[in-house]
Structure 1
Amino acid sequence: MNKCAIILAAGQGKRIKSNLPKVLHKVCGKEMVNHVIDTMRAADINDVNVIIGKGAELVKERTTEKKVSYSLQAEQLGTGHAVKCAKDFLNGKSGIVVIFTGDAPLIKNETVANLVDTHIKESNKATLLTSIIENPTGYGRIIRKDNSVEKIVEHKDCNEHEIKVNEINAGMYCFDIKSLVNALDKLSNDNAQGEYYLTDVIGILKSEGEKVGAMVTEFEETIGVNSRSELAVAEKILRDRINKKHMDNGVTIIDPASTYIGIDVEIGQDTIIYPNNVIEGDTLIGEDCILYPNSRIENGKIGNSVSIQSSVIVDSSVGNETTVGPFAYIRPESTIGNNVKIGDFVEIKKASIGNDTKVSHLTYIGDAEVGTGCNFGCGTVVVNYDGKKKYKTIVGNNAFIGCNTNLVSPVEVEDNAYIAAGSTITKKVPNGSLAIARAKQTNIEGWVSRKGQK
């Protein structure tokens, strides 16, 4: 059976008090609407249409990699109106469509798949996602008859029996496409708000004798985000889920409450994560690693048996059995090899560092290729920028760079070369050579007393 999805993402979200469209606020490092899109795809629903309105171009920009289609809701006239704006998307389609909101990022792909399966199994024309909660005050009640849905009643309209019902509407649905399109044509905005409500579709289908069902899921999954405080609640729930998943997979997290891991991060077995680490984006961490406190890794590829201390790694890769930090900064487009030492206060930028090389402390390497088995002394600087343009430095295998060396790019240091401490290198250093580029020391005796210095 053909399946597609509509995601409602047209509102600005006044209560969240932001110039950014509400659905673009992030939970665990990813925009809420992108969480929902990814959930649809994980539930094997690939044809996804996003209803856009406020901040439409920005929502398009932030979702463009998801390969979705868009429908424009120029005026926000209710959820029913939003779906009516997607009629071109639905036109000519048969099968089923699920409708979810772009501000509810906690829904699980298993729940979406189960909703579809329930809809098909029960031969429903519409299937609602619902929750049972202890205090349903303020929510629309699901009124059932013979286990099928009879109607949805808003809290203010409940009678004495309906007010006691604790099954509520989650605002997420699965519809037969043709039945939905037919009902949308009959929607009315004859109400106090002058809006078209998607919930009215249920009444229309019931009046035509169609079967409407419901599937219960945990309330936590259906939480929508309308304010900064609710954003924090969603963040905590999803972060707890993510951390539990990794711990179930064999990762030790010393203090889950102070560990922040993004939704797309992968971590290998027997890795240990200490408190106050932030791991984001498309990051892959191997097995048997140790992340000591206070590091940030974003879009990093970390090998096996790597040790990282109080450092930042962004858009870069680190090989096996390498140590990083403390207080190192590995900037984008850097590749660090196996068994490398990147020590304290070292910065690597758009550079490759070969296997078994040591960059122990107080060093900057930018726009460079460094071979295997090299040693960089304290205070080495690759001088890669002349004020207008960046240039490249190449260091061969087994080179020894003495302390306080300046490598003025573009320059090459060939294999097995040595550079004396304090040198400023501007020309190629040949294979096996010793380069000394500093003024000869001169001692002027008696200078201090003649100048009256103590």
Structure 2
Amino acid sequence: MVERQLAVAILAAGKGTRMRSNLPKVLHKLGSLSLIERLLRTVLTLGPHRCLVIVGYQQEQVRQTLADYPVEFVEQREQLGTGHAVQQLLPLLPEFHGDLLVINGDVPLLRAETLQALVERHRQVGPRVTLLSAQVADPYGYGRVFCDAQQRILELVEERDCTPAQRQNRRVNSGVYCFDWVALAQVLPKLTSNNAQQEYYLTDAVGWVGKAIALDVSDPQEIVGVNDRRQLAQAHQILQDRLKDAWMEAGVTFVDPDSVSLEETVQLAPDVIIEPQTHLRGTCRIGSRTRLGPGSLIDSSTIGTDCQILYSVVSHSQIGDHVWVGPYAHVRPHSQIADYCRIGNFVETKNAQIGSHSNAAHLSYLGDAKLGSQVNIGAGTIIANYDGQQKHFTEIGDRSKTGANSVLVAPLKVGSDVTIAAGTTIPPRQDLPDDCLAIARPHPVIKPGWRLGIRSTHPLAPKTPSVGSLRIYPLRLCPGQDLKQELEQFARQQPLQAGFVLSAVGSLTQATLRLADQTEDHLLVERLEILALHGSLCADGLHLHLTVADCQGKTWGGHLRPGCLIYTTAELVLADSLEHRFSRQLDPTTGYLELQIEQAAADPSPPLP
């Protein structure tokens, strides 16, 4: 006997008003998949001859979401009920003589085994329709199904039409039907909307096609529908419980299952331990005896055996065996961490290949890099991989190590057995050969008597450099920087002892000046050339006058204020007199912080007691 063909109709035309969303109800996500995708993947395991999706509200979004699935779309221009939706199939199935499985698109938890059992029961018994029913503890909101002892359907009654006695019946209608299509096609044209909702009900057809039977689903949670956000959350919890129960049976430990979430695409080996507040997304594979969490997110990554991922994020990466990550590490996409590595506190990797037995224990960024084996990354090491336009690559050989607060500016190649001293910055393309020590840092500048107006009397205070010496600082500012703020920061960071401006040229997009004998600032918003900048700078303040010219050559001059923004550049040459010490102190005569000038000669050492 030739097996009867099976067609499937998924009803997905409704808006889902109770979702309070512009997104069609069937496109709301349950885990990583939309409701209709999750149902459709289950349906396709039945191998249907045709799969028809009835669309209406925001149908272009539904069509786009299901573009890669083997389905046909049927338009229901007006949403006039379930019967009206199935009526749209009449022109499409004129020669079809098999069975039609009708399912609402908002029932995402159905199992393939349940649908297969429904179809098999229908074909074994041979009724005109077989309805999937369920015995539930709380039937409120569902239509009731009344059957005889042989499960033949006597009556279907909607919740709102039930008498008090009928409401005691706990067998409910799931909205899933398997019809003999020829019998159904004969009665579909007879459906009317003569009811309070003015809709065409498919349940009316059940009573007209002939013999109808019910099949109770073994797990009533399978028929949970999603009509609002609460039911969406309920479905998510059911899905999570299924997954976690299955993995616990397979030998996985969940310390606090209710605080953990995962997706079906996750694969867990026996003896994996998942701590509270840990979440697994996408296609993940986790090796045996690995402990995830607490407080970790693993997304589309492979993690080997005997690893620990503590309070960290791992995304689209591969981690070997015996690796420790965290706490508070971020392993970003395309990172490959080999065996026996440590990616420690507040370490970030991105597109990084890290060889076995290598460590980055603290506060580092490793981006676009390849590290050999047994490399040690000191705390605060930064691989500067971005030059403002593109990313560059850094390679570090076996057994090399970086000191604390090192900066490696890509592109760069560091050989094997290299030691980079603490505080060292290696410029781009300054490749380091094997077996060397690299040191690149300025000598410390010590300024005795740093507190305002108080010179050091410490017997070991260093002598001030010889009278008459100057230190020159060339400086270039970039577009968008604030001229005054950058000079203030520079004077503090160096720090300048008795600084002044030797020369200044450049351009501004705007200038803020305080003009002579004025209390309010004057703002010029136009392209301006810097003609001159004069004045003094020290660590506790500066006093500068700026002169600029507009496109007509008109000049403006006044006290430099915040809000002078660089247009293309500002090229400055600053000088610091090591013979003097400048400070700014309140002058009671003027009421302003005025310049105080002192000689920089060291005080004599105090007598010994």
Per-residue deviation at 1:46?
A: 8.4
Aligned to 1:321: 322
Q: Matches of 1:452 and 1:86 in 2, distance apart?
A: 94
Aligned partner letter, 2:180:
D
Q: Does the CA contact (< 8 Å) of 1:429 and 1:435 recur in 2? A: no
Q: Matches of 1:105 and 1:243 in 2, distance apart?
A: 18
Aligned to 1:184: 188
Describe the shift of the 1:414–1:453 C-alpha distance in structure 2 as closer, same or farther (beyond 3 A). same
Aligned partner letter, 1:402:
G
1:327-346 equivalences in 2 (<5 Å): 327-346=328-347
Q: Matches of 1:47 and 1:305 in 2, distance apart?
A: 48
Q: SS of 2:116's equivalent?
A: helix
Aligned to 1:60: 63
Aligned partner letter, 2:35:
M
Once the two structures are superposed, residues 246-301 of structure 1 have per-residue CA deviations (whole angstroms, 9 ceiling, x without a partner) of: 11110011111212222332211111111111112222222111113111112222
Aligned partner letter, 1:58:
Q
Once the two structures are superposed, residues 62-107 of structure 1 have per-residue CA deviations (whole angstroms, 9 ceiling, x without a partner) of: 4445454433333212112223334566565553332222222222
Q: Matches of 1:114 and 1:33 in 2, distance apart?
A: 21
Question: Could you tell me the percent identity over the aligned residues?
Answer: 36
Aligned to 1:255: 256
Q: Matches of 1:139 and 1:382 in 2, distance apart?
A: 61
Per-residue deviation at 1:446?
A: 4.4
Q: Matches of 2:144 and 2:221 in 1, distance apart?
A: 17
Once the two structures are superposed, residues 225-245 of structure 1 have per-residue CA deviations (whole angstroms, 9 ceiling, x without a partner) of: 112222222222222222111
Higher mean displacement: 145-154 or 120-129: 145-154
Aligned to 2:82: 79
Q: Matches of 2:396 and 2:185 in 1, distance apart?
A: 67
Q: SS of 2:311's equivalent?
A: coil
Aligned residue among 134, 140, 143 for 1:140: 143
Q: Does the CA contact (< 8 Å) of 2:151 and 2:215 recur in 1? A: no
Aligned to 2:434: 432
Describe the shift of the 1:248–1:20 C-alpha distance in structure 2 as closer, same or farther (beyond 3 A). same
Higher mean displacement: 423-432 or 256-265: 423-432
When normalised by structure 1's length, the TM-score is: 0.89
Moved over 6 A (4+): none
Q: Does the CA contact (< 8 Å) of 1:43 and 1:110 recur in 2? A: no
Describe the shift of the 1:449–1:232 C-alpha distance in structure 2 as closer, same or farther (beyond 3 A). closer
Q: Matches of 1:220 and 1:202 in 2, distance apart?
A: 24
1:369 aligns with 2:370: yes
Higher relative strand content: 2
Q: SS of 2:347's equivalent?
A: strand
C-alpha root-mean-square deviation of aligned residues, in Å? 2.8
Describe the shift of the 1:453–1:183 C-alpha distance in structure 2 as closer, same or farther (beyond 3 A). farther
Once the two structures are superposed, residues 407-427 of structure 1 have per-residue CA deviations (whole angstroms, 9 ceiling, x without a partner) of: 222222234433232222212
Aligned to 2:200: 196
Q: Matches of 2:411 and 2:94 in 1, distance apart?
A: 60
When normalised by structure 2's length, the TM-score is: 0.68
Aligned partner letter, 2:209:
L
Aligned to 1:25: 28
Aligned to 1:173: 177
1:122 aligns with 2:125: yes
Aligned residue among 5, 9, 17 for 2:8: 5
Higher radius of gyration, 1 or 2:
2
Q: SS of 2:21's equivalent?
A: coil
Describe the shift of the 1:197–1:271 C-alpha distance in structure 2 as closer, same or farther (beyond 3 A). same
Aligned to 2:384: 383
Q: Does the CA contact (< 8 Å) of 1:417 and 1:429 recur in 2? A: no
Describe the shift of the 1:57–1:380 C-alpha distance in structure 2 as closer, same or farther (beyond 3 A). farther
Per-residue deviation at 1:159?
A: 6.5
Per-residue deviation at 1:346?
A: 0.9
Gaps of 5+ in 2: 457-609
Per-residue deviation at 1:171?
A: 0.5
Aligned partner letter, 2:153:
V
Describe the shift of the 1:95–1:419 C-alpha distance in structure 2 as closer, same or farther (beyond 3 A). farther
Q: Does the CA contact (< 8 Å) of 1:251 and 1:268 recur in 2? A: yes
Q: SS of 1:355's equivalent?
A: coil
Q: Does the CA contact (< 8 Å) of 2:448 and 2:455 recur in 1? A: no
1:105 aligns with 2:96: no
User: What is the number of residues matched between the two proteins?
Assistant: 450
Per-residue deviation at 1:126?
A: 1.8
Describe the shift of the 1:358–1:214 C-alpha distance in structure 2 as closer, same or farther (beyond 3 A). same
Gaps of 5+ in 1: none
1:156-305 equivalences in 2 (<5 Å): 156-158=160-162, 165-206=169-210, 211-217=211-217, 218-305=219-306
Q: SS of 1:352's equivalent?
A: strand
Q: Does the CA contact (< 8 Å) of 2:282 and 2:299 recur in 1? A: yes
Q: Matches of 2:284 and 2:146 in 1, distance apart?
A: 46
Describe the shift of the 1:330–1:180 C-alpha distance in structure 2 as closer, same or farther (beyond 3 A). farther
